[in-house]
Structure 1
Amino acid sequence: MSNLEDMGIDMSRRNPVPRPLTDSERQRLDEFIDSIHYSTRYSDNEYEYRHVQLPKAMLKAIPVEYHDKSKGTLKLLWEEEWRAMGITQSLGWEHYEVHEPEPHILLFKRPLNYQPPAQ
């Protein structure tokens, strides 16, 4: 977990542990998968970034436990959570921020030249 904190990810904005989707929740979200938009990657000296734009209507279908009522956005999602919602990306991406003016836009980053752990 310290790796996530090293990346500047505020763990208090996540569920304490990943909260799996039920089968019915997953089915409700499936209809939106083809409408998820992925930005091109961009980078600075340390990380590469991309943003993922969810269809606005999808927010209403996402379980309440994924929402941060104090900010009016989604919480920062664990990889198991965003993958279960239908977001598909290569390994190493971390959800680190939600664009508050547009809560359907999720911001992701990973270290430059990320190499997945050897199996």
Structure 2
Amino acid sequence: MAGHHEPSYEDYVERIHYSEKYSDDHWEYRHVILPKPMLKLIPREYFDPEEPGVLRILSDSEWRGIGITQSLGWEHYEVHAPEPHILLFRRQKDYQEKYLNKQK
């Protein structure tokens, strides 16, 4: 196994998958899929004390801190206990028109 090394945290970050966006009348949604082994490297305090292995809802700075990169306005609003490596995000449908274009 010459040259084989454990993937680094950066390797996992590069493998984070971002779904296409989908929306309803009020929100746009997307899910972010972390490589499963990455869960072992996330700080313990990010997990729900009631449900071992399941992330709690993370703040903007927390999910950005673990390597998820998205534009402004997204919030982590739901966890999917059977698949804790999938994080569900949403933001207001017209977020960019409402907040970002006003700054010009």
| TM-score, normalization by structure 1 | 0.72
SS for the counterpart of 2:95 is coil
Equivalent in 47, 70, 76 of residue 89 of structure 1 = 70
Q: State the partner residue of 1:31.
A: 11
Where does residue 42 of structure 1 map in the other structure? Answer: 22
Percent identical pairs in the alignment equals 58
What CA RMSD, in Å, does the superposition of the two structures yield over aligned residues?
Answer: 1.5
Q: Measure how far apart 1:29 and its partner are.
A: 3.3
Rounded Cα–Cα distance in structure 1 between residues aligned with 2:9 and 2:93: 31
1:83 to partner: Cα distance: 0.7
1:55-74 equivalent positions in 2, closer than 5 A: 55-72=35-52, 73-74=54-55
Deviation at 1:104, TM superposition (A): 0.3
User: Any stretches of 5+ residues in structure 1 without a counterpart?
Assistant: 1-27
| Aligned residue identity for 1:76 | I
SS in 2 for 1:31: helix
Contact 1:40 1:50 in 2 (8 A): yes
CA contact (8 A) 1:48 1:112 kept: yes
Deviation at 1:30, TM superposition (A): 2.6
AA aligned opposite 1:95: H
Q: For 1:4-63, what per-residue CA distance to the aligned partner results, in whole angstroms no more than 9, with x for missing partners? A: xxxxxxxxxxxxxxxxxxxxxxxx633311110000000011100000000000000001
